[in-house]
Amino acid sequence: MSIVLAFLISCIVTLSVTPWIRKLAIQTQFLDIPDARKAHAHPIPFLGGLAVFIGIACGFIFLGSVSRHFLIIGGGAIATLLLGLWDDKVRASAGSKLVGQVAIACLTYFAGLSISFITDPFSGGIIYLGWLSFPLTILWIVSMMNTVNLIDGMDGLASGVSAICAFMLTLVAIALGQYPVAILSASILGATLGFLRYNFAPAQIFLGDSGSLLLGYLLATVSIIGVLKSTLSLAMMLPILMLAVPIFDTVDAILRRIRRGQPIYMADRDHIHHRLLRMGFSQKQVVLILYALTFIFGTTALTLGWINHISALIACVAVFIITRMLIARWGKVSPLFLRLFR
């Protein structure tokens, strides 16, 4: 019951406060000005991260007694929100923003939240990481923050993908009996769905870096105290598969820029949603396609998570290969998808 209430309260609160946050963004000039890379034609308020944060925070009241891990996540979420708000206002350099992300990840680690072990997909045993725990935890948190941030290039895309991932994490937490984790995941789900009412195309307000970095941080840390703290087979693969679409897009962007001799932080118009737009899909069609892919990967993750056999790992690899082949040949099948998603 607490899980359902946390979801409902977070959703209702975010639905209620977002119009007020939108007015505040306009008054304080938190506006996303369109340029050659962006799909919108007019300035859009982008203080949405604050609305999502308020909604999620309201879900925290259903946790009852708050453990140390949740206090760490709460503190890290506030720091991430402030970092994003600062970047949204002053448009900080990529280097400065990365330093801030690493600092937040380090504070999270030294406060006591870390990836201390992973499960062996071959034997089902536990592999303790020792000194590797620090770099892996930092890499995980910073990577997830940037993964959600990079996919936030289209109305409703980052918030919708995050909602699907939060839904999957909620189901996993319930199955594992981790009810406080389920409450937090459900709060993220409720807040993102409530915000999506104003963020889906045509968007009235954007997440901004305050929202995308916040959601990335929360998904990373909820995974650490939830799935990654379990002895579930392929525990490490579950959140990776759930976020496979933005992760694939991020890795592809990094490799593409290295190949071109460009800085990896340089923005371009070759993300997966840009490519689908060039193929003739509308914004709504692109978002729905990527929602569907995220749901498929998430469902695959849930199915494979309880298979204690090497076949599960083979299946994970097969899913990635098949998806890569489909994307490579998407131009030839796009007319069919255009008809399906109209």
Q: What is the pLDDT of residues 168-224, one digit of tens each?
A: 889 888 888 888 889 999 999 999 999 999 998 888 899 989 999 999 999 999 988
User: In angstroms, rounded to a whole number, what is the distance separating the alpha carbons of residues 204 and 197?
Assistant: 9
pLDDT, tens digit, 9 for 90 and up, residues 316-331: 566 666 655 655 554 4
CB 60 within 8 A of CB 66: yes
- Supply 49's token pair: 């991260």
Residue 124 vs residues 227, 283, 341: alpha-carbon distances, Å: 14, 43, 41
For residue 335, pLDDT over 50 is answered with: no
Q: What percentage of the chain exceeds 90 in pLDDT? A: 33
- Supply 114's token pair: 């870390």
Residue 67 is classified by DSSP as P
Q: pLDDT: is 256 or 134 the higher one? A: 134
Amino acid at the residue 167: F
User: In angstroms, rounded to a whole number, what is the distance separating the alpha carbons of residues 242 and 245?
Assistant: 8
User: What pTM was estimated for this model as a whole?
Assistant: 0.84
Per domain, the residue ranges of the chain are 2-341
For residue 338, pLDDT over 50 is answered with: no
Q: How confident is the model at residue 57 (pLDDT cuts 50, 70, 90)?
A: very high
